[in-house]
Amino acid sequence: MADTTSGPSQARIRTDLWRAVLDFSGDEKYVWDQDGLAARRASEARDPGPDMPTITPEQFTGWKKAFAASVDDSDRDERLDEWTERRLPASFLPPHLKHRWNGHLKVEVHKRLLDWFEAQNLAPPADLLVTRDSVDTSPGPDLRQRLIACMRLMTQDELERVQIPASVLLRLKP
């Protein structure tokens, strides 16, 4: 399985974005709401932008097959093939595979979102990934602490896109 330490493995993907990628069962599209900087159902968006990258059932099956192919023979379980071919929930998997699948799914959704934001020429939201501790808490840390926490969650590609004012760079001691 791919190394996920630099991506979303230690964090959650923001709920609206997670839903916009994975909710392929509904009739309504998700769009990027330019005004609220959030993924919303098209009917709820105040300032609808481009369609979000919602996957198809076939793409989801492809992700499941790729995951199943990555499982070593020693870790395989008879339920894995049935889960891969049918629309069964992750709870059908044995616990040791369920945990790995959830990590695999986070990586796939994260990659899809980053690719989509790049293709749209939009910066991904700073809170695309949220730590488990900060998901349901009220704003506590000051801005500096929150920025440092965000930097710790960023991938190398995200870090390379950070813009720092020259005046700040000049204040750095050599």
* Model pLDDT for residues 113-171, shown as the tens digit of each residue: 999 999 999 999 989 998 765 444 444 456 777 777 777 777 888 788 888 877 777 77
Closest CA to 43 of 54, 29, 24: 29
Burial of 64 (0-12, 13-18, 19+ CB in 10 A): buried
- Rounded CA-CA distance 135/122 in Å is 24
Residue 3 counted as domain residue: no
Residue 118 counted as domain residue: yes
State pLDDT tens for residues 17-58. Answer: 999 999 998 788 999 988 788 999 988 877 778 999 999 999
Residue 2 counted as domain residue: no
Contacts of range 56-60, beta carbons closer than 8 Å, 24 or more positions apart: 56/24, 57/24, 57/87, 60/22, 60/24
Tally the domains of the chain: 1
Question: 66 lies in which domain range?
Answer: 8-171
